[in-house]
Amino acid sequence: MTNLWYQCRLKQGATETIGWIEARGARKGASVELKTDRFDGLWFVADVFPPGLDGETLREKQGFDRKGLPSIERRN
């Protein structure tokens, strides 16, 4: 079975961001923790935007997006 990722609008107090969340946490009203040094603590899932993408497709999409925006740092 393929694990899907969904683009979600996340809120932490007055701060909002958009991120890709695994299907198991991509439920409106859920709380998730982001695995990054930039964001700490739990985030509230405010919206979930379909369709979901499998992990390989998401990595390819992010690679294409970053090539078009060279100011975005690429992470391995």
Domain ranges of the chain: 4-68
Q: What pTM did the predictor assign?
A: 0.72
pLDDT > 70? residue 54: yes
- The letter for the amino acid at 34 is L
CB atoms within 10 A of CB 21: 21
Instruction: In whole angstroms, give the CA distance from residue 34 to residue 67.
Output: 24
Q: What sections of 1-76 are H helices per DSSP?
A: 55-68
**Could you tell me the pLDDT band of residue 73, with boundaries at 50, 70 and 90?**
low
**Could you tell me the pLDDT band of residue 76, with boundaries at 50, 70 and 90?**
low
Long-range contacts of 27-36 (CB under 8 A, 24+ apart): 34/10
pLDDT > 60? residue 68: no
pLDDT > 80? residue 4: yes
Nearest-CA neighbor of 12 among 36, 44, 47? 44
